Homo-oligomer: A and B are copies of this chain.
Amino acid sequence: MTVSYAHIQGGVDAPQGFLTSAISCGIKNPDATRLDLALIYSEKPCAAAATFTTNRVKAAPVKLSQAHFRKGEIRAIITNSGNANACTGLIGIRDAKAMCSAAAKGLKLNMSQVGVCSTGVIGLPMPMQRITPRIPELVAALGKNQGSDVAAAIITSDTHPKQIAIEVEIDGHPVRIGGCVKGAGMISPSMATMLCFITTDAHLTQEGLQKYVLECVEESFNRITIDGDMSTNDTVMVLANGSNGMPTIRRNSSAGKQFAAALKYVMLHLAKAVVKDGERVTKFVTVAVQGARTYLDAKKVAEAVSKSALVKSSWNGGDPNWGRIIHAVGYSRARIREELIDIHINDKAACLGGLQAQTPMDELREVVAHREFSVQINLNQGSATYEMYTSDLSPEYVDFNRSEYAYWKQARKDGLV
């Protein structure tokens, strides 16, 4: 299904009935002036749904937000970059509660109506002395047309803020969906990582929204990899406040399908933006597996290829190395037969029936020299398919991730360790 959507100005601020703000607290470093604390607020009650990291080590804000989302009355989200508040024990829970509590007080909500997300270094306590006193100011700054500031406040090692907003007509009503995301190390513990916030003025039930969010996350954020690591903080939060005045979108209705498609479009756009802005990434590669015996086999193959350090290193070098691709297919644990495997790079045959194809090497090299290309792997064993979005692996990625000593030194200055 290739529907095209009208992109509009802004991000999470674009849908009706949402206010946002962001300020600079110097969380990572007291001298820094960049935005690092943000707030998203729905002017009226809304449906709220979220998915969280499956890492068994969960950051304090993840644990707290899970409890708050279960209550089902979320109206606001407070989020910071510069510190992940992960592996911080009871102190971390206390700090995450303090953030929700201060925001709730300013917004005249209950604490459990506020979701909280943090991203940044792991294992160091939050410098709350620089955060809590500033939250009234954050609340006072709420306004329209400030979604870009939220997108800017959540980034860490990202090179630029990433947001999108679209408008689509569903059953005669204009529906807006806006979102922002931060990623970079996918999923790095210390830059504990992927956060995504989405707002919409469509009208949904809690259950309906949760169902669509799960479906769309499965086909977007669960399909991307940069370094194969999984964060302690990964979170996607979606608020739907019905401010556009439409009747409730029913599950399994035609309107529901249209909404799900639009939501998936937004999530996929943001998910791909995360890969493209991955740490020291120079290539965006779509790995499309077809002809698998089962969905799970297709997924195993796509994941093995998308995560292989050797495959990714070869892409960084502009080398159309199908030998490395087929070797990853081989160790994926999927049921494959080597002699049936075809591999194409942007529709040019690199490997046919498990053997080198006749395409001149220079033609393949030209394709892999591009910033974006796709690798199609046909197992020729069935009809199941799976698609993933991945990047190359660069020497600069490793170099970038060699040390976080600077974080520790700042925490020592702050008297936190």
Give chain A's interface residues, CB within 8 Å of chain B.
54-58, 86-89, 121-124, 185, 188-190, 192, 227-232, 308-310, 313-314, 316-319, 321-324, 326-331, 334-336, 338-339, 351, 353-356, 361, 365, 393-399, 401-405, 408, 412, 417
Q: CB-nearest residue of chain B relative to A338?
A: B57
Contacts of A309 in B (CB 8 A): 227-229, 309, 393, 398, 401
Tell me the smallest distance from the CB of A356 to a CB of chain B, in Å.
5
Partner of A313 from B54, B86, B122, B402 at Cβ < 8 Å: B402
A189-B323 in contact (CB<8A): yes
Q: CB-nearest residue of chain B relative to A232?
A: B327
B316-A398 in contact (CB<8A): yes
Contacts of A310 in B (CB 8 A): 185, 188-190, 227, 229, 401
Q: CB-nearest residue of chain B relative to A319?
A: B403
Tell me the smallest distance from the CB of A370 to a CB of chain B, in Å.
16
B355-A319 in contact (CB<8A): no
Contacts of A417 in B (CB 8 A): 356, 361
B395-A398 in contact (CB<8A): yes
Tell me the smallest distance from the CB of A253 to a CB of chain B, in Å.
37
Tell me the smallest distance from the CB of A2 to a CB of chain B, in Å.
34
The 5 closest A-B pairs by CB, nearest first: A317-B402, A57-B330, A189-B327, A122-B323, A395-B395
Also in contact, A402 and B331, with CB within 8 A (given A324-B122, A324-B190, A336-B56): no
Q: CB-nearest residue of chain B relative to A317?
A: B402
**A394, B417: Cα distance in complex, Å:** 29
Partner of A331 from B56, B316, B356 at Cβ < 8 Å: B56
Q: CB-nearest residue of chain B relative to A121?
A: B323
**A353, B88: Cα distance in complex, Å:** 10
Q: CB-nearest residue of chain B relative to A190?
A: B323
Contacts of A355 in B (CB 8 A): 87-89, 123
List 20 A-B residue pairs with CB atoms under 8 Å apart, sorted by A's residue number: A55-B331, A57-B326, A57-B329, A57-B338, A87-B355, A88-B355, A122-B323, A122-B326, A122-B327, A123-B323, A124-B356, A229-B308, A229-B328, A230-B327, A309-B393, A310-B401, A314-B401, A316-B398, A316-B402, A395-B395
**A257, B192: Cα distance in complex, Å:** 48
Tell me the smallest distance from the CB of A331 to a CB of chain B, in Å.
4
Also in contact, A331 and B404, with CB within 8 A (given A87-B351, A310-B229): no
A86-B323 in contact (CB<8A): yes
B232-A123 in contact (CB<8A): no
Contacts of A316 in B (CB 8 A): 398, 402
Contacts of A227 in B (CB 8 A): 309-310
**A317, B408: Cα distance in complex, Å:** 14
Q: CB-nearest residue of chain B relative to A57?
A: B330
**A321, B86: Cα distance in complex, Å:** 13
Contacts of A319 in B (CB 8 A): 402-405
Q: CB-nearest residue of chain B relative to A309?
A: B227
Partner of A314 from B329, B403, B412 at Cβ < 8 Å: B403
A404-B314 in contact (CB<8A): yes
Contacts of A401 in B (CB 8 A): 309-310, 313-314, 317
Contacts of A314 in B (CB 8 A): 401-404
Contacts of A328 in B (CB 8 A): 189, 229
Also in contact, A327 and B231, with CB within 8 A (given A338-B56, A356-B417, A396-B395): yes
Tell me the smallest distance from the CB of A56 to a CB of chain B, in Å.
5
